[in-house]
Amino acid sequence: MKCKIFFMPILLVAISGFFSLKTKAVDLDWTGLYRIEGYRIVNSEVSSSDNKKSYGLHHLILQPKIIASDSIAIYARFDLFNSDSASHSNSQMGQFFGSGINVTEEEKTTSLNDSNVLSDRQKSEKLEITELYMTYTYEHGVFIVGRTPLHFGLGITHNAGKELFDHWFDKRDLVGVKLIMGNFYFLPMWGKVAEGELSQSDDVTDYMIQVEYENPETDLEMGFFYHSREASAAGNDAPKGSSPGEVFGGNTSVDNGQLDIQTTNFYVTRGKQRVQFGLEASLQKGKTGVQSTSGGNTSVSGFAVATELEYRPEKSKYLYGLKVGMASGDNPETDGKYEGYLFDKNYDVAFLMFNHPLGQKDFLRTSLAGSDAGAVPINSADVETISNAIYVSPYINYVWKENWEVQSRLVVGYLSKTPLLGVKVDKELGYELDVELSYSPKKGVMWVTEVGFLFPGEAFKGDGSLSSEFGYGLSTKAAISF
């Protein structure tokens, strides 16, 4: 499906009335979030070496909103104290405690001005601007232009990272028109992911259509999101492997061809006084442009589904919930085909599992998501995501006393596909028990302490030569929103 013909006429109609507007005195409003986090994770490699990692994070988000007129608003977002690590860049992970003056250990030092062990100060941090967009509200909808957050449904694919402790976000430079018709709205969007030469010979472009239905009387919501991404051969920088069975093929000596991938999502949520239900499904297909060792264009054919259910009995301090879902896995035996699906990194079902890299091999086949599973020691924070897996996650929330809540969660996981080329691997990922205590002394302030106990399954043993040992993690974190 080609969507180009739908976009330009709609966008031109919306823009046509924009320049006739009169402005008034400008109003400025600020919101934001500050958070500080501490983590200690023991034996994330589930090996007998019992390696540990401990780190702290802090991050500040400032979001100004400028009301330029009755119908025009300009939004921005400033992120302060950001990670400069390659695996965490362009995220809202935050800066790790201990940002030294000497960034690279190999760099020759001469004095306290460039030596970590001699300095009495930290490295100055950069301000990053991660959002800047404008909205023009008219009689039948909203015109949107700029770098905007992107979110849909439960957030398994498009997730703006609006939760207090989300470390990732989805943004897009786009132009869109939201047409509102009663309980429906229709939102076509044209996005520019990468602008290379102005001749457009090496651009990466998105064509998106979002349709949603919202009925506040019945608490029913449902939506459809179609996303098509196109890139010319000159602009296609999709990664290539070096041998058969690696993700996206193995012919590194051949230049990439054109990329053309379509992702279709559908979601429905229904809320009543005591029961909440949500479901999102996604289907992905297309061509990556990456040449496989057999000479073909590596194809994409992945799918995912996630369901959420919550039940709160009347006049009860308890809430019962369940998350169940799956993501297809890439089969290493099929060179020239990528059958895996990657959830958005913000969608978590456990503290450790599918969140922090685990094990001594890439059992989830998530290297495309930036996971460094299999590296020893594992040095990244929560860069893992759900892929090649089936999960079941029941949980219970209990209001212990005023402003205090306790959550207990059990997570069970299984592999969808054997992840290692030529090796039969057990599919049991094991289970994890998490306990979380949260305290909110006043509106806008939240403190959370969590401990997770990981009991890894036989899958982590791979071909039988690897270990599958107990691991655990502890975190404490606070967020102040304003």
Retrieve residue 444's tokens. Answer: 């806008």
Buried b (16+ CB within 10 A) or exposed e, 9-36: ebbeebeeeeeeeeeeeeeeeeeebbbb
Answer for the pair 191, 173: CB distance below 8 angstroms, yes or no. Answer: yes
Task: Name 326's bridge partners.
Answer: 305, 390
Predicted pLDDT at 387: 97
Query: How many whole angstroms separate alpha carbon 194 and alpha carbon 196?
Result: 6
Predicted pLDDT at 19: 46
Task: Report which of 256, 244, 239 is spatially closest to residue 334, judged by C-alpha positions.
Answer: 244
Task: Name 115's bridge partners.
Answer: none
Retrieve residue 242's tokens. Answer: 């070096």
Answer for the pair 387, 329: CB distance below 8 angstroms, yes or no. Answer: yes
Q: How do 297-311 and 337-338 pair as beta strands?
A: parallel
Retrieve residue 264's tokens. Answer: 């279709």
Predicted pLDDT at 253: 75
Answer for the pair 147, 80: CB distance below 8 angstroms, yes or no. Answer: no
Retrieve residue 292's tokens. Answer: 């496989």
Query: How many whole angstroms separate alpha carbon 134 and alpha carbon 234?
Result: 31
Domains and CATH numbers, the chain: 4-97+125-481 (2.40.160.100)
Retrieve residue 473's tokens. Answer: 């993690």
What string of pLDDT tens digits covers the 482 residues of the chain? 455 555 555 555 555 544 444 445 578 999 999 999 999 999 999 988 878 999 999 999 999 999 998 899 999 999 999 988 888 889 999 999 998 887 665 567 878 888 888 888 888 888 999 999 999 999 889 999 999 999 999 999 999 999 999 999 999 999 999 999 999 999 999 999 998 877 767 899 999 999 999 998 889 999 999 999 999 999 999 988 777 777 887 777 788 999 999 999 999 999 888 999 999 999 999 999 998 877 788 999 999 999 999 999 988 999 999 999 999 999 988 888 999 999 999 999 999 999 999 999 999 999 888 887 777 567 788 999 999 999 999 999 999 988 999 999 999 999 999 888 888 899 999 999 999 999 999 999 999 999 999 999 999 999 888 989 999 999 999 999 99
Q: How many angstroms separate the first and last alpha carbons of the chain?
A: 43
Task: Name 321's bridge partners.
Answer: 310, 395
Predicted pLDDT at 106: 57
Query: How many whole angstroms separate alpha carbon 422 and alpha carbon 260?
Result: 30
**Tokens 């590296």 belong to which residue?**
375
Predicted pLDDT at 1: 46
CB atoms within 10 A of CB 374: 17
